[in-house]
Amino acid sequence: MEDLTIVLVALYRYLNFPVRTMHPLLEKIDGVKPHSIFFKDCETNSFNYPTRKEEALFIDLIKKLNPRIVGFSVLSPYVPVASRLTRLIKEYNQSTLVIWGGAHVTISPESCIDQVDMLCVGEGEGAIGELAECVRNEKSYHAVNNLWVKNGDRVIKNPLRPLIQDLNSLPFPAYGKDSYYFINSNKVVKKDPAFLADTFLVQTSRGCPYSCSYCINSLLQSLFKGLGPYTRRRSVDNVIKEIRENNRADTIYFIDEVFGTDKSWLDEFETRYSKEVGLPFYVEYNPKVINTTIISKLVNAGLDMINFGIQSGSDFIRNQIFNRPGTNEEIIKLAQELAGYKVKVKYDLIIDNPYDTEESLKGTIELLLRLPKPLFFNLYSLQYFPHHPLTEKAIRDKYIRPEFTHVDVLMKRITQNWVFVPRLFPLTKKQILQNIIWLIVWNHAQDRTVRYALSRDTVGSRLCLAYLNFKAIILGKILGIGGFVWRNRWIAYCMRGFSYVLRGDFGSLYVKIKKKVNKRRSSALRQKTS
């Protein structure tokens, strides 16, 4: 019997954990041959529609591979692209089974089912494996748990399976496979761009114990209720094995929503990571769980940077609107404690929030001015994902219309305005304050200038406010995410190189260039050996 060919499709990010995990899993099934297409890559706040050529390359690949099943991994902003590619597949061969999975499908299956043969709601590993076996054996796949299957005019909504508790049983995300194809800039390449990255992303857990009103976890926790503990973690041994097998980066980024909190897990991590990996690493936490014991263990293990969300400088907005615990005073205390350990801190903050007032934004500025310098921030614009508690509340309170959660609007907002960039309009004091927040978090404003601009209502302070606003808008267009320098990285590289020349630091410049060249060489070598 011929092997069953399955094509998995990742959209707009070469690093797609679900696809990179399901691919090796499918490889282990007898008689199943997976291929994965990574369709376009993009940076935050920058997006371009697929060109005709890219669509043609995609469909040519589909024709060549002739899969029985095509599975798309879909986040909300990329639904329009998934819809278009699905239509192209169906135009070529109506009988190819198309399945979608991913965050958007899990939170909003009813909006997707019309476009496909089936959906995967929740975790995909068990479902895609069982689906593949059914199709390979020419058996019915209508009763596979986690799948919604179209059957004529009906939709069969199968129950959810228990959450995977033993994360160690999953394969590591795979890189550099021969059966990977990367489509971008009007060409298909086989070389895995992941090998060029300086940072290696590792997920040691799934789930988060918190339930912030703008975050997917607020929905997933109730969706998966009764299906086993939601927050799960791999063993230290398993995590270290993955890093060592992929030994290529300068830094490790643990992409968990909340990194280790369990004492015995951290004890083992502390001793083994520094000895067996020894690379600087970056972690994410909720500030509420960070304590001295955790900090000192992470520092001993080689912590480079810790990231946590402040989200608002107003305790009311943080607690009551965002449903996040914690106060400004606690954040300042924690920031000072971390500064004592000489650990770099990166904070998350959300603005463009209709519940913010001039007063709450001034409170946020006050908080920012009290944090140890220099500042490192992810400054986000609030997004309204379908069915999330905050979205529902904003609709009820008439801050947004229900159409705001339509995928076309989501695509536009998320792909252009995920990270906040200063704007001139609307010409309101709130917008000016938000622009000034941008200046502060990017370390482009002096504290005393900001204090002067905000503390009085004189001609001088108003002029100062206008100056800061103007500065933010101009710098945002040039240096902001998605701005001119961001889109033309070579300028940033040249500027950095030039600064070494100005300082007369030719040694460091040489080391940097050599490192880049070596990285390209070793990535080519890795691809060959994978």
Residue found under tokens 């220099």: 374
In the complex, minimum distance from the CB of residue 518 to ligand B12, in angstroms, rounded to a whole number: 25
3-class state of residue 29 by DSSP = coil
Contact letters for ligand B12, residues 406-425 (x by CB under 6 A): --------x---x-------
Residues in Cβ contact with 192 at an 8 Å cutoff, skipping those fewer than 6 apart: 14, 175, 176, 177, 180, 182, 523, 527, 530
Work out which of 98, 212, 236, 436 binds ligand SF4, going by CB under 6 A.
212
Count of residues of this chain found to bind ligand SF4 when the rule CB under 6 A is applied: 9
For ligand SF4, which stretch binds (CB under 6 A), given 94-102, 211-219, 408-416, 488-496?
211-219
In the complex, minimum distance from the CB of residue 291 to ligand SF4, in angstroms, rounded to a whole number: 16
Distances (CA, A) of 104 to 72, 79, 80, 82, 383: 11, 8, 12, 11, 14
CB atoms within 10 A of CB 214: 23
Q: Which does 44 bind (CB under 5 to 8 A by kind): ligand SF4, ligand B12, none?
A: ligand B12
Residue found under tokens 């282990």: 28
Q: Which does 286 bind (CB under 5 to 8 A by kind): ligand SF4, ligand B12, none?
A: ligand SF4
69-73 and 4-11 beta bridge pairing: parallel
Work out which of 215, 220, 283, 453 binds ligand SF4, going by CB under 6 A.
215
Contact letters for ligand SF4, residues 169-208 (x by CB under 6 A): ---------------------------------------x
CA 461 – CA 456 distance, rounded (Å): 6
3-class state of residue 11 by DSSP = strand
Please provide the DSSP assignment of 232-301 as one string: EE--HHHHHHHHHHT---SEEEE--SS----HHHHHHHHHHHHHHT---EEEEE-GGG--HHHHHHHHHH
Q: Which does 212 bind (CB under 5 to 8 A by kind): ligand SF4, ligand B12, none?
A: ligand SF4
What count of Cα atoms within 13 Å lies in the side-chain half-sphere of residue 356?
Answer: 26
In the complex, minimum distance from the CB of residue 463 to ligand SF4, in angstroms, rounded to a whole number: 39
What count of Cα atoms within 13 Å lies in the side-chain half-sphere of residue 37?
Answer: 27
Q: Is 363 in the site for ligand B12 (CB under 6 A)?
A: no
Q: Is 283 in the site for ligand SF4 (CB under 6 A)?
A: no
Work out which of 108, 217, 312, 360 binds ligand SF4, going by CB under 6 A.
217
Q: Which does 526 bind (CB under 5 to 8 A by kind): ligand SF4, ligand B12, none?
A: none
Work out which of 5, 111, 211, 417 binds ligand SF4, going by CB under 6 A.
211
Contact letters for ligand B12, residues 110-149 (x by CB under 6 A): ----------x--xxx-xx---------------------
In the complex, minimum distance from the CB of residue 257 to ligand B12, in angstroms, rounded to a whole number: 5
Give me the residues paired with residue 36 across strands.
Answer: 8, 180
Work out which of 58, 148, 210, 224 binds ligand SF4, going by CB under 6 A.
210
246/286 with CB nearer ligand SF4: 286
Backbone angles phi, psi at 397, to 5 degrees: -80, 5
Please provide the DSSP assignment of 61-123 as one string: HHHHH--SEEEEE--GGGHHHHHHHHHHHHHH-TTSEEEEESHHHHH-GGGTGGGSSEEE-S-
Q: Catalog residues that contact ligand B12 under the rule CB under 6 A.
A: 8, 11-13, 15-18, 44, 71-73, 75-77, 99, 101-104, 106-107, 120, 123-125, 127-128, 203, 206, 215-217, 255, 257, 385, 414, 418
Q: Catalog residues that contact ligand SF4 under the rule CB under 6 A.
A: 208, 210-212, 215, 217, 257, 286, 309
